[in-house]
Every structure is written in C-alpha cells, then in structure tokens.
Amino acid sequence: MKKVKVYVTLRESVLDPQGSAVMGSLHKMGYGEVEDVRIGKYMELMIEDGERNIEAMVDELCHKLLANTVIEDYRFEIEEAVSQ
Amino acid sequence: MKFAVIVFPGSNCDLDMYHAVKDELGEEAEYVWHDSKDLSGYDGILLPGGFSYGDYLRCGAIAQFSGVMEEVKKAAEAGKPVLGVCNGFQILTEAGLLPGMLLRNKNLKFMCRTVGLKVENANTLFTNEYAEGQEIQVPIAHGEGNYYCDDETYENLKKNNQIVFSYADDFNGSRNQIAGIINERGNVLGMMPHPERAVSDLIGGSDGLALFKSIVKQWREANVSHA
C-alpha cells in the first residue's frame, strides 16, 4: 500500500483573489512581513500496490482530473503505508 | 428541431433551459440524464447551469467524465450546436471543448443580477438574430465566472473571432471582459450569462430569446428543404 500526497497549486501567472484576501487579513493582524499568499489544495490518496507503475499512474490521474493544467501545477510524493 | 437538455446531478437550470426551447420557442426538448450513451436523436445539445457534482474539486471537473460527455464530444465533432451556460460553460472548458478556464470572481462573491452584454460576433449560428455590437440585458448568477486564458489562447480567440459576448462592465475579473466564447469550428458556445432566463418580458426581459431563435433558424436553413 502506498500513500500519495498530492499538492495542487495555482500557476504563477494566475491571480489568486482568495490568497490576496487572506494576505490583507494577515497584514491587518500585524503580520506585515507576509509578502504573498497563494492558496492551493492538498489531497491524500491510498493506492494498492499492483501491476501498474504507480508514478506514471498518479501523474496521469493528476493531469486528467486532480489538477487543471490550464491554471494549476501539481506535484506529488509517494510513501510506503501500512494497510489497515 | 429537437434539443437535449443534459441533466447532471446538481444541475439546476435545466428546467429554465427546457422552458426556453419548449414553451417559448415551441421546439422539441427532452431531459437527458448524465449517464446516457446516445445523443444521436437530437439536433442540438444544451448543457445547463447549476452545481454539477456539488462543484467538488473544480466547477465542472467531475462532470467532464460523466458518461454522456463522450456523446457530447461526438455531437460537437458532428457539427451539431452545443450550448453550455454557466456551469455548462465550465464543463465545456474542463472537457477541453473550449479553451481557457473559469476562475473565482475577483471580488470572491457569488453575483446574481442582470448585466449588459455586447454581441461581439453576430455571425455565428448562436447569434445571427442579433446585430453586431448590439447591447443586450441578460442575467448572470455565478461565483466562478472570471474567464482566464493565457496570452497565446487570447490572441487566437481574437484572431478567429471566437469571442462572442463580452460584459459591458468589468465586475468579475474576466480577461478582456469575456462573457462567452465559441470553438474554432463555430458550433460549440460557452457563456456565463443565462439567456434561458431572459426569454419573456414577464420574467424581466427577453433579450436571450434571439440566441435560441438563431440556433433554430440556422438549423432550419440547413436541414429543411424549401423545394
């Protein structure tokens, strides 16, 4: 069993109004040092070991569904996990 | 002319779409469930607004893999008119039938009001009953209607006259106030405003009716013999 951690982030060229709103709030709270906030998504997938190359498979499913590469980038980490 | 109104779990403008073509235009319309495997009996495909699959992950992201979407792609390839409104537009971009993507409105608010739209291209099968440059009043109702595309895509859209509607005012952050675009072939239109909610003066306006009339007019000219 593998635990796959997927991080989906907005591309740099894409404005992030949510991130800007959060940064404004942080500034008001007195954290003026915060220069930028970008909000993304974090997903965990539990995947059974099988015939398929897991790295290729995760890359494919990220590309097809988990991220929209018009506006988002993704990266992932694969870890050994103990099946329950 | 016979329309399919595709119903996804979470669609909520399907009734309005049906009403527009059936009751206001007097054409045939049927609801088609999202797992349907056959759209061959329909002349036009309508993807209504709403929150398909709860907008989970991204608006339209999950709906793009609904069984019926393969059929929608086939219909688009066959040259049939395909109209996606609001969530329908989001589904068309996720499915790759239209370029770009709809982001969260720049003010982070869900906006529901009637807005001015400029008809940028009246030479399409969806807009031939409008005049080029005409300003019409059509309701919007969206939280993610902020059209985004990269520079290259934008240049292509402009070059090919694929920008069909633009907003009179910038309120959601859309690139160049884009409200609706068409594919290169000219038979797939996606737009955030709701023409199906502007089909009778009784409900506040009828500027959207000409869009549906355009589709029918074009179809009749192509398919009905005058001999």
Closest Cα in chain B, distance from residue A45 (Å):
14
pLDDT for B224 equals 82
Identify the residue whose tokens are 């059509």.
B138
> Distance between CA B142 and CA B58 in Å, rounded?
14
Residue B149 CB contacts under 8 Å (≥ 6 apart), including other chains: A70, B99, B100, B101, B157, B175
Is the per-residue pLDDT at A83 higher than 70? no
Check: CB of residue B169 under 8 Å from CB of residue B115: yes
Closest Cα in chain B, distance from residue A43 (Å):
10
According to CATH, what is the number of the domain A2-80? 3.30.1280.10
> Distance between CA B56 and CA B49 in Å, rounded?
15
Check: CB of residue A8 under 8 Å from CB of residue A43: yes
Q: Which of B13, B19, B59, B86 is catalytic?
A: B86
Determine whether B226 is an active site residue: no
Give me the residue spans of the domains in chain A.
2-80
pLDDT digits (tens, 9 = 90+) for A1-43: 999 999 999 999 898 989 999 999 999 999 999 999 999 999 9
| Preferred mutation among B66, B103, B105, B181 to probe A, highest tally of A CBs within 10 A | B103
Residues of chain B positioned with their CB less than 8 A from the CB of A14: 103, 148
Closest-approach residue (CA) in chain B for A11 = B150
pLDDT digits (tens, 9 = 90+) for B93-129: 999 999 999 999 999 999 999 999 999 999 999 999 9
Give me the residue spans of the domains in chain B.
2-223
Structure tokens at B143: 């939280």
Q: Give the right CATH number for B2-223 from 3.40.50.880, 3.40.50.720, 3.90.1720.10, 3.90.10.10.
A: 3.40.50.880
Check: CB of residue B208 under 8 Å from CB of residue B127: no
**CA–CA–CA angle B50, B55, B59 (5° rounding):** 85
DSSP B28-52: EEEEEETT----TT-SEEEE--B-G
Closest Cα in chain A, distance from residue B65 (Å):
9
